[in-house]
Structure 1
Amino acid sequence: MKRGRSKSPIAFVVVFVSVSCLFVLILTILKLPDISFTNGSSSLSNYKKFSKVANNSYSLGKFGEMMIEMLPQDLSFTVFVPSVTAFERDLRLSVNNSLTKEKEDDTYAILTRVLSFTVVPWKILSESVSDTEEIICDSLSGLKLHVSKDADEMLVVNRVRSTRVNLRRGEIVIHVMNGVIMEAEFQQSIRADNSDED
């Protein structure tokens, strides 16, 4: 009988959710100040103006909404959420197929893992990212995120380009990405799972 890491996705989800809840509890108790990257006082007014327009006219899709619902709305986070197309193309998640009774636990485990790669515990506004320098920060899972801007003023994180920026839900800043930000090991496991289904 082999000993080692559990292969159960349910065990992984339970451990991840427990650690996440502990992290949120610590942040809540400490009432840490919001550490926002800002280059000037005008960025906040631009951010609020853009947020009002964007939030009323853009849907994150079912999986994006599920990821955002996992976070407390009253704490500052930045989330680099995959677009609806990226969920289907890169993770092979579709609303009709991935939320069935047989697959919902696996889908939730995938979303939880992707969330850990794409969440930063402070606000990063597109206006606060310099055109010439990148910001390097750690996601909740410890994955290094390299945040920069391209020539069109869109954010690029670990070579994944954004399609929408500065959306807001409560205190959460959301940037919609044209791909999934993830570590190499998780990416290989997703590819292996997808090739088994073919």
Structure 2
Amino acid sequence: MGRIYTLKNSVAFVGLLVSVCCIFVVMLSLLRLPDVSLGGNRAMMGPYKTFSNRKEVVAGDEKLGKYGEMMVQMLPDDLAFTVFVPSERAFERDLGLRSAAADDDDNSSRRNDTYAVVSRVLGFSAVPRALHSSVVAPGDEVSYDSLSGLTLFVSKDSEGTLVVNRIPAERVDIRRKAILVHVMDGVIMDAEFEQSVQPDLDDTTD
């Protein structure tokens, strides 16, 4: 009887020890849980957001220029988007926007106009899915609707260069967290918007 009693006490002690260890592990894992992200709330609010509350994310040396970074920062970085960002040269050539002048511009009205132009370009250039440059083979063509509803025709030329609405890419597959960026040698836009920015282009050549 003494041995049976001792055995029962040993089993009870081991069971208690296992229970205490399990509780300790659970508490430790709870203490290590990361902070809850606001990404879900941003997704409920829609794809656009102001860029003033966003930290700039630069992947290595793959800088996108002043307005290219501005475009990317308008999107939530935890959702899959593809953005066909104009190069700095394309912003200046096709829209009359100079990155150097943007830092020195103290005119709030002009800053608002610039923000409106860049956000319109984003609507034409962003697709709510990840589109790697490998999604289309040379000679093939696929189409996707941008955020503004403009149809984007994506293909590759005979040399394997990514082309979107007849505009070739300069650099492809640049990562900004969940966002995929392709830098284009031109601005993707519809005919109406292109006509609306023509007077600004004339003013910059005077």
Q: Under a length normalisation based on structure 1, what TM-score does the superposition of the two structures give?
A: 0.71
2:143 and 2:77 mapped to 1: Cα distance?
24
8 Å contact 1:86–1:178 — kept in the other structure? yes
Structure 1 pair 132/71, CA: closer, same or farther in 2 (3 Å)? same
8 Å contact 2:141–2:154 — kept in the other structure? yes
- The residue that corresponds to 2:150 in the other structure is 143
User: What aligned pairs does 1:10-49 form with structure 2 within 5 A after superposition?
Assistant: 24-25=43-44
Structure 1 pair 115/160, CA: closer, same or farther in 2 (3 Å)? same
Residue by residue, what CA displacement relative to the aligned partner does 1:43-75 show, whole Å, maximum 9, x if unpaired? Answer: xxxxxxxxxxx9322210111001100000000
Residue by residue, what CA displacement relative to the aligned partner does 1:144-166 show, whole Å, maximum 9, x if unpaired? Answer: 10000112212100000000000
Q: 1:94 aligns with which of 68, 89, 98?
A: 98
Q: 1:111 aligns with which of 94, 114, 118?
A: 118
8 Å contact 1:154–1:165 — kept in the other structure? no
- Amino acid across the alignment from 1:165: V
- The residue that corresponds to 2:75 in the other structure is 71
Gaps of 5+ in 2: 1-40, 48-57
1:24 and 1:150 mapped to 2: Cα distance?
36
* Mean Cα deviation higher: 180-189 or 125-134: 125-134
* Structure with max Cα Rg: 2
Q: Secondary structure at the match of 1:122?
A: coil
- The residue that corresponds to 1:180 in the other structure is 187
- The residue that corresponds to 2:127 in the other structure is 120
- Amino acid across the alignment from 1:188: Q
Q: 1:83 aligns with which of 71, 83, 87?
A: 87
Two-structure CA RMSD over aligned residues (Å): 2.2
Structure 1 pair 27/131, CA: closer, same or farther in 2 (3 Å)? farther
**Structure 1 moving runs of 4+ over 6 Å:** none
Identical counterparts, % of pairs = 49
How far off is 1:192 after superposition? 2.0
Higher relative contact order (CA 8 A, sep 6+): 1
Q: Under a length normalisation based on structure 2, what TM-score does the superposition of the two structures give?
A: 0.68
Q: Is 1:171 matched with 2:185? A: no
- Amino acid across the alignment from 1:138: D
